[in-house]
Amino acid sequence: MHRTAPRLARVLACAVVPVMLVVSGCSSDSGSDSGSDSAKKPGSGQTGASAGTQDSGAALATPEASKSREILPAKYAKLPAACQAVSGKTVGALVPSVKDKDGASSRTSDSMSRAGCSWNGLDDKGVKGSQYRWLDVAFQRYESEAALGSDGAERAKENYTKELSKARAAEGARDLKTAPLSGVGDEAQTVSYGLRKTDADFSYVTVVSRTENVVVSLTYNGTGYAGAKGPSVADLAKDAVAAAKEAVGSVARANK
């Protein structure tokens, strides 16, 4: 009877406490199994201490799982002299009656990262009209950035895509076409189209290429004036690709 009375009193006490307390404290005659029972059930709640322990464990594992790889230095440390990236012979062939055979350098505040040059000429054939040509080449070089977690080639690849998008977004372009190009750097594409301006129909070809951590963009366009027939996109593309190969090759030569 001494054992029964305390047990009965305990049952009566548990009958008036909240259900959650019954589960945790009154489900057994012995208090030794109450904690282990909730731990074994998948649906049982976790205490703040146990949840915090699991969260901190996951946090500790995250840096290890996302450990950054080694960022290697960019392959090319400098750019070529842009106005010498395309040979004088090529310039003379692509831009007849060139105004300045030495070219006009682009203005830049960082010659180690950006460079450019352009040539233009108007070949006046009298009663047969005139032929106008413009040639432009631009270089952009990217360093490896450990803080950004990317090497120079990766950054150049991103900008290569952006330069292609810019070439495709030419306002007023007609019959725009894009084609992959092999043999010019690590990757390259041509963007060609027609464009009406200055009361003449121009043909445009842009070659965008990437060689390691350098992006090279070459644009060649032209038209005929005073009744002269302008160049076809196909003819310009052939010459533009040849000039682009020279420009891309000049990057490696400048870094020897």
Q: Are residues 57 and 104 in the same domain?
A: no
Domain termination site, one of 65, 94, 114: 65
Kindly report, residue by residue over 177-189, the tens digit of the pLDDT. Answer: 999 999 999 999 9
Residue among 179, 180, 183 at smallest CA distance from 193: 179
Q: Are residues 148 and 207 in the same domain?
A: yes
Kindly report, residue by residue over 8-22, the tens digit of the pLDDT. Answer: 344 334 444 443 333
86 inside domain:
yes
Copy the structure tokens of residue 178: 């894009």
User: What is the extent of the structural domain holding 20?
Assistant: 4-65
CB 152 within 8 A of CB 74: yes
Q: Are residues 115 and 170 in the same domain?
A: yes
Q: Tokens 């007609």 appear where?
A: 174
Q: Would you state the torsion angle of the CA atoms of residues 91, 210, 108, 100, taken in this order, to the nearest 10 degrees?
A: 0
Copy the structure tokens of residue 198: 């200055």
89 inside domain:
yes
Q: Are residues 168 and 126 in the same domain?
A: yes
215 inside domain:
yes
71 inside domain:
no
pLDDT at 51: 42
Integer Cα distance of 121 and 150 in angstroms: 42
Amino acid at 186: D
Q: Are residues 44 and 161 in the same domain?
A: no
Number of domains in the chain: 2
Q: Compute the residue count for the chain.
A: 256
CB atoms within 10 A of CB 250: 22
Q: Are residues 208 and 151 in the same domain?
A: yes
Q: Are residues 180 and 224 in the same domain?
A: yes
Tell me which of 86 and 11 has the higher pLDDT.
Answer: 86
Tell me which of 149 and 85 has the higher pLDDT.
Answer: 85
Q: Are residues 48 and 150 in the same domain?
A: no
93 inside domain:
yes
Mean pLDDT of 133-161: 93
Q: Are residues 152 and 95 in the same domain?
A: yes
Mean pLDDT across the chain: 81
230 inside domain:
yes
pLDDT at 227: 92
Q: Are residues 160 and 35 in the same domain?
A: no
CB burial of 107-133 (b: ≥16 within 10 Å; e: otherwise) equals eeeeeeebbbbbbbbebeeeeeebbbb
- Name the pLDDT band for 68 (thresholds 50, 70, 90): low
Residue among 127, 72, 82, 86 at smallest CA distance from 108: 82
List the strands of the sheet with 104-105, edge to edge: 104-105, 114-124, 130-141, 214-225, 200-211, 187-197, 174-181
189 inside domain:
yes
Q: Are residues 166 and 191 in the same domain?
A: yes
18 inside domain:
yes
Q: Are residues 180 and 128 in the same domain?
A: yes
DSSP 33: G
Residue 97's CATH number: 3.40.1000
Between CA 97 and CA 102, with CA 100 as vertex, the angle to 5 degrees is: 125
